[in-house]
Amino acid sequence: MPFIWINKNAKIPSMTTQQAIKEIQNKFDINPILAYRIFTLADKKDPVGDSERVMAEKPKPFVKWVGGKRQLLAQFYKMNLYPPELFNIKTGKYFEPFVGGGAVFFDLLPQKGFLSDLNKELVITYNVIKNDVDGLITSLKKHKTDKEYFLKVRAQDPNKLSDLNVASRFIFLNRTCFNGMYRVNSKGGFNVPYGKYTNPLICDEVNLKKVNKALHGIEIKHQDYKEVLKKAKKGDFIYFDPPYYPVSKTASFTSYTAESFLDKEQIELRDTVLELHKRGCYVMLSNSDTPFINKIYSGFKGIRINKVEAGRMINSKASGRGKITEVLITNY
C-alpha cells in the first residue's frame, strides 16, 4: 500500500447531516429519529465522535415509579414500535399526559414537549427541577434517613409547603419508602411505609442537573390527560401510560392519585386515542394485557395491538409477581 501524506492544516470536508445521522444510528443501533436528536445535541464539528458524550449525559428518571418503562424501551426498539419513524422530532411536538417517571420522555429528549399528570406533587417536582434545581439539591442534602424522621416528613401536609419543599419531600419519600412506591389513600395522603434502606441515594445531584437541562423548553402542567386534545395536531406524537387496568383483584395498583381509573375511564381514554388517530397524530399507549383492554381497542382500522413482556412487582401475593405480557397500542 503506498504511503499517503496528509496535510494536517488542510480543511477536511465535513460529512453531510444525513451521513452523520446514519453513522450515529448504526453506532448505537437506534431509530433514525433518536439518531437525529442525538445529532442536534452533539458538537457540530464532530457530531459522530461527540455522540458518545451526549448518550452518556442523557438523564434517567429522577423517581422510582411503579410501571416505569425503562425496562421495556429495548423491546420497543427491537419491535420497531418506538418512536414512530415518520414522526418529525424537529417540527412535531411530543405529549406525555401520564408522565409519571418520564422514562420515554428522557429517552426521546424532544425539543418541543408537553408533560402532564394528575399527581400534583409530581408536577410541582418536575417544575422545581426545571426552575430551581440548585435550591432543590441544597434541600435534599439536608434530609436524614432514620424511620422517625421519615414518619415526620410523611406526616407533613404538602398543601402547606412551598413548591421547593414539596419537591424535596416528594423525592425524599420516594427514595426512602418501601419499594419506591408512590401510593395515596382516598384523601390524597401518602401512605407507603418506611423502606429500611442501608444507604438510599436521596440526592442524585448529577442526574438532577441532567434532568434540569432536558426540561428546558418543556411545558409541564397539572391537568387531565384530555387536555391533550386542545393542542395535539397532525404529525405530533402522544404517548399514554395510564394507570393499568387490573389483571386480577390482587394486582390492582392505580393509586398514584386519589381518583380511580377503571372501565369507564379506560373507555374514555380509548375514545381520546381514536380522536387523535383521526387527526393524524402518532399515538402509542401502554396497558395490561387483559380481555377488557384487548376488546376495547379491537376492530378499529389502523389501530394495532402489540404484545411486550414486562416484569410485574406489584401484587399482594408473591406468586403473582414475575414476567407478564402487556399491550402496546399503536396507530403506525
Q: Does 316 lie in the same domain as 180?
A: no
The answer to whether the beta carbons of residues 306 and 330 sit under 8 Å apart is: yes
Q: Which pLDDT value is given to residue 255?
A: 52
Residues in the chain where the model's pLDDT stays below 70: 1-14, 67, 249-259, 312-322
Q: Does 286 lie in the same domain as 166?
A: no
Domain boundary (215, 248, 266) is at 215
Q: Which pLDDT tens digit goes with each residue over 67-91?
A: 678 779 888 988 888 889 899 888 8
Q: Which pLDDT value is given to residue 69?
A: 85
Kindly report the CATH number assigned to the domain that includes residue 97.
3.40.50.150
Q: Does 229 lie in the same domain as 110?
A: yes
The answer to whether the beta carbons of residues 236 and 92 sit under 8 Å apart is: yes
Q: How far apart are CA 97 and CA 241, in angstroms?
A: 8
Question: How are beta strands 113-117 and 94-96 bridged, if at all?
Answer: parallel
Kindly report the CATH number assigned to the domain that includes residue 204.
1.10.1020.10
Q: How far apart are CA 97 and CA 249, in angstroms?
A: 26
Domain with 188 in it: 120-215
Q: Which pLDDT tens digit goes with each residue over 228-267?
A: 999 999 999 999 999 999 987 655 544 555 567 999 999 9
31 within domain boundaries: yes
Q: Does 175 lie in the same domain as 126?
A: yes
Strand partners, 324: 310
Closest by Cα among 99, 52, 35 to 228: 99
Q: Which pLDDT value is given to residue 196?
A: 86
Q: Does 265 lie in the same domain as 136?
A: no
Q: How far apart are CA 161 and CA 20, in angstroms?
A: 48
Q: Which pLDDT value is given to residue 259?
A: 66
Q: Does 141 lie in the same domain as 109?
A: no
7 within domain boundaries: no
SS (H, E, C) the chain: CCCCCCCCCCCCCCCCHHHHHHHHHHHHCCCHHHHHHHHHHCCCCCHHHHHHHHHHCCCCCCCCCCCCCHHHHHHHHHCCCCCCCCCCCCCCCEEECCCCCCHHHHHHCCCCEEEEECCHHHHHHHHHHHHCHHHHHHHHCCCCCCHHHHHHHHCCCHHHCCHHHHHHHHHHHHHHEHHHCCCECCCCCECCCECCCCCCCCCCHHHHHHHHHHCCCEEEEECCHHHHHHCCCCCCEEEECCCCCCCCCCCCCCCCCCCCCCHHHHHHHHHHHHHHHHHCCEEEEEEECCHHHHHHCCCCCCCEEEEEEEEECCCCCHHHCEEEEEEEEECC
5 within domain boundaries: no
Q: Does 265 lie in the same domain as 306?
A: yes
Q: Which pLDDT value is given to residue 256?
A: 53
330 within domain boundaries: yes
C-alpha cell at 46: 464532530
Q: Does 99 lie in the same domain as 246?
A: yes
Q: Which pLDDT value is given to residue 289?
A: 97
The answer to whether the beta carbons of residues 120 and 199 sit under 8 Å apart is: no
Report the number of distinct structural domains present in the chain: 3
265 within domain boundaries: yes
Question: CA-based Rg of the chain, rounded to a whole angstrom?
Answer: 22
C-alpha cell at 9: 492544516
Q: Does 102 lie in the same domain as 88?
A: yes
